[in-house]
Structure 1
């Protein structure tokens, strides 16, 4: 979940409300309503408002999320009969099943009051709203105070989330209240989640409701969250925002902040001078360095080089942002839309037999999306900035997609012999040498493609092998008191053969 969504939700769910002046959340109404479910969110006895108390004593059927919460004592104090949802909790296979069962019970009752003691805003409440709408039942969420408002009245407002429903991501420059940390296991999960955004040694505020029905709180280190003596349904945590310079873990937003600062008025002269054009070589170099790290099978090196490639993305995004051309979010939006569109077998109803059919569908969808009407347009769309070996293989593959291809690598191999003879003839005649050399290389790439080999990497491996043999040659020469550069070519060639034999025996 991105920060914008969290901010929008915070305005609805994390607002500090005065019990007498609280603005009601929007009512969910339907046409021809046949009943109304009034929902009371009461995370602590002290959070009870007058409007909530009137609803509790209205005489309507009363349901309680759980008897195992201090807020349930209010019903006892008011001598109110109620039905607990604890039986549904015990019988449900998971939280989805529980939420569906709770919604079913409320909707079938039609006119009733539901006292929720936990954070249901992003989990149970949407299920109730959907079910109620389907049955023409109206839902009203009465004005309420968040648990954080009651537990931490002197702290800045915060975004409330449940420890049982943690979002995919949060913005560490916002304050957060984590509710319902009801066990050591849940506390551990919350700690691991928060540690991705806040330093382990961060001071956080932990609170829970005591026997007197009020919250008591104390400071702890984030790393100690799952080392407390006791946890219950009222255990709640306040985490204050942290500026990115003070954090030990960082996300893409921090990368963008750093790059904007580097290109700002008081930033780095080199970074400020860069343009899309000037950064082309850097992007290419960083990409190749990442490939080297992958070839080394070194995770730490891969991680480092991925960061360098990400920096190139961020630089181009900030440059475009400064020019009002587009933003990083625009680029991400384009990517997400493309991935969804080109994966109908995942996000739609299309069925595929395997990866070959996936690639076939991908190419067809790409052609349609780009409004290409001929295969020639498809061939021309292969970027000229690609390395020549890669570009030639891709062009050959796209031609093969419509049947223009050899049946096997063996058949294509004879083309190499033909092109070799034509090159020899061109060399003898002294013209068309470049053209014939290009044709020979193209034919070699075609054989590699049909063998399902990547010519770019094959040539890189061959080059590495050459360097290794050359190194062995130099070592052999030095071991015999000579410098390789002082030897004649026949002598060097003899050493080459020796080096080759050494490699075979390694």
Structure 2
């Protein structure tokens, strides 16, 4: 069986190395090291220690992942000729990807590992910074760090910061969340005689001279909520505070039902921002919609029925379940097949409905409800054969409405007007038009043109009563002309 003896060199100089590890290194017949750039090796060379490093592999690749993989593969090949000793900085099981590759090989039966020795750099860093990890800390790899996984309320230690380039990459990632001037501490050779600590503003992280393979970057916890406004947890805390006994009276009084009009209003304002292609407004309106989601989630938590985690779990599970072509091995030929699979999976999830129209009502819009009803009925053939037939039905309903206006009661007039609107929605369906969006655009257009009429009146006498309908209509037509010209 291939045998690889893995030894940690510790985080500092030779004085920190345990005696047992020192003896094993001195007695090793086939010693390989990931990198020769370590103070322990520098001192041992002076004592006559011989070894071979893998530094040359770093020069062959543009990123670290293939470097670590090649080192592990090379060690496996070398161990076929007899046991080898492999030395790594720090502790072999802390932030050492080559060892993780070797552990995978051991689990598959390809080799046998003996792992020992070497204190990790964590103890030395904690001591140098005078911090207690019980408060919560994150150890992250600076080469693969993602900002959305960083918790700004915890101590953050960033390893694998070797040079100016890696420091720059880490800086840019941190600046996605942290203020540019946020203080970070560069820790070099922690625990050794050469230990150095330097605190700099975040934006200067990659300009510091003390960056080498013994560098760790420390980001302290943020205690200022204003600094953490990009954190999801901060927003959740804000909403919880508003709903708390010492929060806002209005927010405490809200229920799912009382918030319904606000959700509809915010959704329409978002649609308007999207229609106007206003990115700043879209971001703002998305925030307003998100506020409604968090408020409803907090109400659910306050009442003991559900909380935000339940909302996230439900929607994440649904997205994974309904995208088997992404999260499983299902193959699709295009977006049409994706939609077909979605509908099939959705049908399997829902209980059998008593009616085809079940679940098609939309509380916020009778237009959308009408559209959904007619679209669902059309799927089983209950529809006019073509748009021309729908137009004929519209003319019929229009005449019936006129008749009721002349002779019918208010209830009959309302009934026939509803039939007329229902037929118009059907016509929109034949032409693949959204009646709801059409109404939104009509309202927006009316507001814009009427505002122009108001301005013309205010620029004149200031009173609508001083103008004839023909004059007001001329202002309206002027607004139409200007709109067509894009003015």
TM-score by length of 2: 0.83
Match of 1:316 in 2: 296
CA RMSD of aligned residues (A): 3.4
Say whether the 8 Å CA contact 2:9–2:40 is kept in structure 1: no
Match of 2:365 in 1: 387
Distance apart, 1:170 and its partner CA = 0.8
Say whether the 8 Å CA contact 2:139–2:156 is kept in structure 1: yes
How far apart in 2 are the matches of 1:78 and 1:231? 27
Q: Name the stretch that deviates more: 194-203 or 237-246.
A: 194-203
Query: Does structure 1 residue 295 correspond to structure 2 residue 275?
Result: yes
How far apart in 1 are the matches of 2:216 and 2:326? 38
The C-alpha deviation readout for 1:238-270, integer Å capped at 9, x for no partner, is 111112425164211001111222222322222
Q: Name the stretch that deviates more: 161-170 or 40-49.
A: 40-49
The C-alpha deviation readout for 1:142-174, integer Å capped at 9, x for no partner, is 365332432451421343222112144211110
Match of 1:12 in 2: none
Match of 1:161 in 2: 140
Say whether the 8 Å CA contact 2:186–2:210 is kept in structure 1: no
CA 1:321/1:472 → structure 2, altered by over 3 Å: closer, same or farther?
Answer: closer
How far apart in 2 are the matches of 1:86 and 1:454? 64
Match of 1:134 in 2: 108
Q: Name the stretch that deviates more: 105-114 or 129-138.
A: 105-114
CA 1:177/1:468 → structure 2, altered by over 3 Å: closer, same or farther?
Answer: closer
How far apart in 1 are the matches of 2:21 and 2:377? 71
Q: Name the stretch that deviates more: 114-123 or 148-157.
A: 114-123
Match of 2:219 in 1: 239
Say whether the 8 Å CA contact 1:416–1:443 is kept in structure 2: yes
Which one scores higher on RCO, CA 8 angstroms, separation ≥ 6? 1
How far apart in 1 are the matches of 2:88 and 2:96? 13
The C-alpha deviation readout for 1:85-134, integer Å capped at 9, x for no partner, is 22333334643333332332334427443322279637444433223211
Match of 1:430 in 2: 408
Match of 1:268 in 2: 248
SS in 1 for 2:127: coil
Match of 2:28 in 1: 59
**Aligned positions of 1:30-429 closer than 5 A:** 35=3, 37-38=5-6, 40=8, 42-45=10-13, 48-50=17-19, 52-53=21-22, 55-57=24-26, 59=28, 61-73=30-42, 75-77=44-46, 79-92=48-61, 94-108=63-77, 109=79, 111-117=83-89, 121=95, 123-142=97-116, 144-154=118-128, 155-156=130-131, 157=133, 158-167=137-146, 168-209=148-189, 214-229=194-209, 231-245=211-225, 247=227, 249-372=229-352, 376-377=355-356, 379-400=357-378, 409=387, 412-428=390-406
The C-alpha deviation readout for 1:327-360, integer Å capped at 9, x for no partner, is 2122111111111111112222223233222222
Say whether the 8 Å CA contact 1:103–1:131 is kept in structure 2: no
How far apart in 2 are the matches of 1:373 and 1:140? 62
- Residue segments in structure 1 that go unaligned for 5+ positions in a row: 1-32
SS in 2 for 1:318: helix
Match of 1:6 in 2: none
The C-alpha deviation readout for 1:277-329, integer Å capped at 9, x for no partner, is 22222222222222232233222222222222222222222222222322212
Q: Name the stretch that deviates more: 332-341 or 310-319.
A: 310-319
Distance apart, 1:225 and its partner CA = 0.6
The C-alpha deviation readout for 1:63-104, integer Å capped at 9, x for no partner, is 311123434325525644433222333334643333332332
Q: Name the stretch that deviates more: 475-484 or 365-374.
A: 475-484
Say whether the 8 Å CA contact 1:161–1:176 is kept in structure 2: yes
How far apart in 2 are the matches of 1:413 and 1:128? 74
- Residue segments in structure 2 that go unaligned for 5+ positions in a row: none
Match of 1:469 in 2: 449
SS in 1 for 2:149: coil
Say whether the 8 Å CA contact 1:244–1:254 is kept in structure 2: no
How far apart in 2 are the matches of 1:102 and 1:265? 59
CA 1:300/1:63 → structure 2, altered by over 3 Å: closer, same or farther?
Answer: same
Q: Name the stretch that deviates more: 185-194 or 421-430.
A: 421-430
CA 1:429/1:139 → structure 2, altered by over 3 Å: closer, same or farther?
Answer: farther
